[in-house]
Structure formats: C-alpha cells, structure tokens
Amino acid sequence: MKRYLLAVLFFDFCALLYGISTLSISYNEAQIYFYDHSLIAIIARFGTAIFGQNDFGLRLPFVLLHSLSCILLYILALKYTRTSFDAFISVVLFILLPGSVASALLINESSIVIFLTLLILVLFEYKKNILFFILFFLVLFVDKNFAILYLSFFFYGIYNKNKILIGLSLILFGISMSVYGFDASGKPKGYFLDTLGVFAACFSPLIFLYFFYVIYRILLQANKPLLWFISATTFIFCLIFSIRQRLFLEDFLPFCVVCTPLLIRYLMSSYRSRVPELRLKHKIFIECSLAFLVIFYLGIIFNHSFYYVLNKPKKHFAYDYHIAKNLAMKLKEQNINSINLKDDDLALRLKFYGISKGKTKLIFTQKPSNLYVSLGKHKLYFEVK
C-alpha cells in the first residue's frame, strides 16, 4: 500500500506544480511577501531565496508542506481505520478536497496549520508525550488559529477526565485569547448560510453533507475519538459565531479537513457491515462523491481553461491570481523594467516579477495593442506612454 501512496503523492505533486505554473502572485500574497513578518512570509521568502523569485520559489515550500501533511495523515489514519487500504483512501480523500488543494497552492496559514495540527495529533495518538506537550505549547507562538485546537483538546480532556490536558489546554487557550484576541466588532449580521456555503465549497457538497452526518452520528455514540472533538468543536464554533458576524473561515477549515480518517472509518464500517446486495446506496454515494471531487480537483489545477467558456474574465474564481506574471513577461520582452501604474495593487504584484516603479505609464485600453495578456479566448490590452 505504501507504493500506491507514494505514487499518488507523486502524481499530486506534479499536478500541483502544473497548477503553480498557471498562477501569478495575488495582491494579498504580495503584501505578505513584501511587508509581513509572519511565519508564512518567512517561508515564502526562504523559498524564493532557494528557488529564485518566481512562482515556484514562492509556492513550492507550501506544496512540500502539503505532501508532508499527507504522509502524517496516513500515519494518523492507521490509528483510526481498520486497514492500511482505508488509511490510503483517507489520504486520497484529503488530497482531492478543494480546501486541501487551495491550501497547497495559495500563500496562507492553512498549510502550516494543517501540517502542525496533524503532527500534534500523530504525537498524541502514538503516545509521544514529551514531544506532544512541547509542540502543543510552541504552536501558541505560530498562529492565533490554534486557539480552536486548544479548545478542542479541553473538551476532549473533560470527556476523558484527563486533568493535565484540561488544565494545559485551558491555560493555553486563555493565553491565546489574551494575546491575539477575537474580533467581535461591528454590527451583528447573519452569515450562517455563507458559512455553510464555504464549508460545502471546501469539502464539495456531498462530502460536506456526509461530514455533517458523521458529526451528528458520533455525537449519539458512547465512544468519541479526538478527531471528532476537533472537527465538531470547529464546526459548531463557526456556526454559532457566523450567526452574528462573518468569519475568516480559512482560519478554521484546516481543523476540519484533517478529519478524513474519521469519515472513511465510519463509511467503510457501514459499508462492510452490509451484505453485498445491500451496498448499492453506498456505492452510488462513493462514486458520485469521487466524481465531484475529481472534477473539482481538475477544475482547480486546470483553472485557466475556464476562460475559454466565460464571457467576462473577471467572473473567474481565480482572476486575482492571474495576469501579473504574464504582463511582467510582456513588459520585459519590450525592455520595460519600470512602469508608472495607477493600479497600486497590480503595481505591487509586478514588483515581485522585477517590474519596479518608474516614469513610463502603463494603462488599460480597449483598443487592440501589441502589449496584451491572453486569458483563454480573451485578451487584456495595455498601452505604454
């Protein structure tokens, strides 16, 4: 089974490399790269120092983190599932989840949070207590999002009557809240449906429904594993607070996508407990879910192809991650290495590709020009003055 795992990881790595080749740095990513001092900014700058200041140097460290997360997930799944095949399927499901693909390709905290969360879970489940408590404490200084992990361990400690875990989790959660805080400002507004929509987009609709179903079914059972506490606490926390305000769900979704061993464990248990004649519903669900996941996976990797069917390029879900690299290449082909651009967002993105501020004006134009960027069947024209 390990050979199949390595083959899948290699295929996923190659697919993500192709995905990187189609992307440009976004404005938010450029801000992180040039002005931020967080861990993700340090990793991004380290990547460009090793591999060059380009998209591969920028994103490759996070793809490697994603691959390491897959290995950790397999090790964790061996504790949750009955067979190594089930653990392998847990990794495949994790790889195909839209939220996992996005965390691997984009520069945000999700990839780091997923990796460290899985490492903590592996250390805990395999009884590596000293390393577990050291890392459990250190992640407090990595990111504010680990507050939800501390809260999950607190409830798990209460469930298992583990006084050490209860005390430590509560203390670290309190420190995290006092240091980072939680933004509850603004007028109360309901974003409940928005939250559900983002969860559905992260998991794919069918997997999200099954995720909700498993959370509910395990709630009614006597034995509740740690993964359930993490997923359930995160999900309920998001639903409760989304009634009042909009949440940055990328801060919470990493703690849900790691639950794939739990989903596969419950699915395969239900599937194997039935005679072959009564497995039709399970087979239909598995085949439909797999079809949706593969479509979403390929859609993200080959996202640039959507420009051939869209009438307006700005309607593309990844529009903010295109244009800049190709425009910089076109400018350099004309020996233009500095420009004056009114669009400060685009100017910062071009800076990453070596186009600095200068006196030469660059403006958008509707007229055909020899300076343009192709987006499928569309062309965006620019004029140099």
In a domain, 306, yes or no: no
**Same-domain pairing of 275 and 343:** no
Residue 189 has a pLDDT of 61
The CA distance from 342 to 250, in Å, is 31
pLDDT value at residue 178:
86
Query: What residues does 383 pair with on adjacent strands?
Result: 363
Q: Let me know if residue 355 belongs to a domain.
A: yes
Last residue within a domain, chosen from 301, 329, 354: 301
Last residue of a domain, one of 301, 332, 359: 301
Res 130: pLDDT? 94
Is 43 among the domain residues?
Answer: yes
Provide the pLDDT for residue 185.
53
Residues 213 and 319 placed together within one structural domain of the fold: no
Task: Note the helical H segments in 22-54.
Answer: 27-35, 39-51
* 337 inside domain: yes
Which residue, among 157, 63, 156, 180, has the nearest Cα to 110 in the 3D structure?
63
**So what's the pLDDT on residue 244?**
67
State the residue range of the domain holding 91.
2-301
Residue 356 covered by a domain = yes
pLDDT for position 222: 84
Clarify whether residues 172 and 318 are in a common domain: no
Using CB atoms within 10 A of its CB, is residue 68 exposed (0-12), middle (13-18) or buried (19+)?
middle
127: left (phi over 0), alpha (psi -120 to 50) or beta: left
Taking the C-alpha atoms of residue 242 and residue 188, their distance in angstroms, rounded to an integer, is: 9
Co-location of 132 and 274 in the same domain: yes
Place of tokens 């691959």: 67
C-alpha count within 13 angstroms, C-beta hemisphere, residue 176? 23
Are 214 and 335 in a shared domain? no
Is residue 239 located within the same domain as residue 349? no
Strands 338-340, 356-365: pairing is parallel
pTM, rounded to two decimals: 0.92
Residues 222 and 356 in one domain: no
Q: In what order do the strands lie in the sheet with 378-384?
A: 338-340, 356-365, 378-384, 371-375
Last-in-domain residue among 252, 280, 301: 301
Helix (H) / strand (E) containing 329: helix 324-333
220 three-state secondary structure: coil
Residues facing 378 on adjacent strands: 375
Other CB atoms within 10 Å distance of the CB of residue 128: 13
Domain match, 252 and 182 both: yes
Same domain membership, residue 328 and residue 272? no
9 Cβ contact list (under 8 Å, min separation 6): 67, 70, 71, 91
CB 99 within 8 A of CB 114: no
CA–CA separation, 269 vs 120, rounded Å? 26
Q: Is residue 288 included in any domain, yes or no?
A: yes
- Residues shown for the chain: 385
CA distance 28 to 3: 38
Total structural domains within the chain:
2
Quote the pLDDT of residue 280: 87
Whether residue 308 lies inside any domain: the answer is no
CA 191 to chain centre: 21
307 in any annotated domain:
no
Q: Please check whether residues 221 and 332 belong to one and the same domain.
A: no
Q: Which helix (H) or strand (E) covers residue 325, if one does?
A: helix 324-333
Residue numbers of the chain with a pLDDT score lower than 50: none
Do 277 and 215 lie in a common domain?
yes
Same domain, 285 and 324: no
